[in-house]
Homo-oligomer: A and B are copies of this chain.
Amino acid sequence: MVVLGVDPGITHLGLGVVAVEGKGTLRARLLHGEVVRTSHREAAQERVGRIHARVKEALLRFQPQALAVEEQYFYRQNELAYKVGWALGAVLVAAFEAGVPVYAYGPMQVKRALAGHGHATKEEVALMVRGMLGLKEPPGPSHLADALAIALTHAFHARLQAAKPL
């Protein structure tokens, strides 16, 4: 199964594509990773338009069976939530156009799926991602690491038929 993980953000959006293999122990391969960067000096439609184009390119190139994003509940700043929403809107348009279903998992679900317990640190999660993908280095930058963690979290849930549609 190929999963596109997205860490949504308006200035930095992490995009990671993994191929999950076999049964038994979950093993996966990193197919692609990038961070889409936009600046507040660009017009809003340029920023969101580029995010849309890059997500769509990844969907068409890697033909994932699912797109997974981290659920957002923790914002204090409404304006930030609003602008992250713009980015996710662009992601959703691309998924709709490509006919790919979208799933969402909260931070606790990521920690539980990857490290086995909900109070794991970022570092523990990154270590598990590194191990599962057989990488020599911990995945980076952090937004890409988040995107890969989300993709793998979906893979775990999909195997248990416990996928969570957004």
Contacts and interface: CB of A to CB of B under 8 A. Distances in A.
A48 B69 CA distance: 15
Contacts of A166: 43-45
A143 B93 CA distance: 22
Interface stretch (A25-33, A81-89, A112-120, A127-135): A81-89
Interface in A60-90: 72-73, 75-76, 78-79, 81-90
What's the dominant secondary structure at chain A's contact region?
Answer: helix
Interface residues of A, number: 35
Given A45-B93, A47-B92, A82-B82, 7 more contacts: A44-B165, A45-B92, A82-B84, A84-B85, A85-B89, A87-B89, A89-B90
